[in-house]
Chains A and B, each alone.
Chain A
Amino acid sequence: MLTFALPKGRMLQTCLKLLEEMHMPCKKIEKRGRELVIEEEQVRYILVKPMDVPTYVHHGVADAAFVGSDVIWETGASLVEIADTKEGLCRLAIAGPKSLAERFMKHKSSLMGIKIATKYPRITKQYFSHRGIQPEIIPLKGSIELAPILGLSDGILDIVQTGETLRANGLHVLEEVAQVSLRIVANNKSIHEHWDKLIRFIEKTRILKERKHR
């Protein structure tokens, strides 16, 4: 039995579509009620919060999972990234009001102590540390764009898809931190134990990508 963790929320539909394209059994999960554990043929699916997916895989509760590359980086979990689905494409970026853009154009010393509101404190710390800047991090759970508008922070580090929410709140992308996409990951032990099943994900992801490029 292969245990597969799926992120609840907006990425779930994309994951189900991918499972279907990879010929994985997923009829029951499409018709699910409020259950969080669904078994179908030789696969057990568990539905968890996106930020918790790496934890389930890291501890071996789930053998494999779909998870965003931003979440993998933020949790720091030790996982095997077996394939990049190239779905759920977006980017992690630093954004802020125009006035902040000037500080980003000056010497890095002008950014020392910059206040950044974010759902990604670990990424923020690492990103600025690598540039020799110590930021003041304000961890928030949502509506990050509010923080600089109300003076809680100088800027934000967050996911940007179309940039419309930023524009609507008078914010601009100042720096791109990383490209984000949906990855298929596996537990360090499961990669050996279930390789015969997991290799299908690499092969089928490649086939799907090639089909897309045609």
Chain B
Amino acid sequence: MKLPKGTLVAALIVLVLFPASVLAEPITINWWFAHGGRLGEKVQEIVADFNASQSDYKVVATYKGNYHDTMMAGIAAFRAKNPPHVLQVFEVGTATMMAAKGAIKPVYEVMSESGLPFDPKAYLPTVTGYYTTSEGKMLSMPFNSSTPVLWYNKEAFKYAGLDLDKPPRTWPEVADYSRKIVAAYADQATKIEPIVKALKEAKAALEKAEMKDNAAKIDEILAETQSGVITAGFSTSWISWIQIENFSAWHNVPIGTKANGFDGLDTQFVFNSPLHVKHIQQLADWQKEKIFVYGGRRNIGNGLFSSGQVAMHTESSAGYAGFKKTCKFELGTSMLPYWPDAAGAPQNTIIGGASLWVLQGHSPEEYKGVAAFFNHLSKPEVQADWHEFTGYLPITLAAYDLKKKQGFYEKNPQMETALKQMTLNAPTENSRGLRFGNFVQMRDIMYDTLEAIFAEQKTAQQGLDEAAEKGNRLLRKFERDNK
């Protein structure tokens, strides 16, 4: 097709002089997020739904790598005076974001200035508590939140003759169950030993007779015979988050002074208390009896559970999406175990995950768009869908009610375990969350420390004392920088 030259020029002139009259451009809202893979696709779906639902704003969601990368990208963009409107920041970055008063625009402010309806009471208090000031002002919008639960392999429980619907409630029970399961499988290991031997001999004989297809079939039978033979009781992912931070909240003991840092920057770590030391030392000692096995940093240990090498595993409730695919056995969940002799347990657990921070440097109209988008995110249908798809917790009570009505939890009891555990008791100052500066580094120190304890280079007392000392130096540095 060939257009006459004059028309093209005229069109161009109109476009240049009056862009708004030709294309009613919606206001662009940039959102930088940190979910790859399937979760990333889901994020784009939510954004597309919002963009289709109205024509004033267009949210552009951009994947910026993992949590660290995304936060760094946001900071660098802010320094270059070109920040996104909305930045997803993981929970341990909360103190850093809070302290950056000139860089962030608190969510309660964004919402009230927009004039759009906003009711902070509509949100789950244990979720928003993490991102709210002591005066109850919401600073960031929770997006993906989860809490750790105990996952267990029902097949292994059945095999060891344990009651499937009575998972262990306390740590001594976990040890007891572990011993029974490992013993049950030890029997199996000895039982299959002659079978394995006979199968191997048969295979060798078949190979000698050059019957390769039959020999290959024997291989399959061999693999089946040996699979799922459990060798240890339990393991854990995210060890600092689960076995130190959530352990503290669940037992209603502080991680640090000043209400876990909520009440001031002059906080000190106290995770070297007798209860913490007892627990960590016990984990180290349990390694010898094969009750506990350390699976590595982050959630690398998930493989131990999904491949049937351990019978129980503490991991985020959001691990569901992965386990659903990788576990070939029936899954059970229950609340985190506790020490029965600890006075405060069980209290309630705290969340992990990330929230959405609004950055400074944009116009009121754009902030209004952000507020509209946040309202969309908080809608019960959107929340309920996200909750079901990912295993993250819903952030509003309405979404929780909606899922209850749909009978979702009867079919997926593991999801409700997390919610029940979060809301078991009204949060205390030990179980509201934590707000420590430089906490990203603290978690790395914790990994190093716990690895040294599990490798028996240090006792739990030594290790945790040293970690607290190193951590306090980080806290002092943060205090110094943010006075």
Question: Do A and B come from the same complex?
Answer: no
Q: Which B residues form the contact surface with A (CB < 8 A)?
A: none
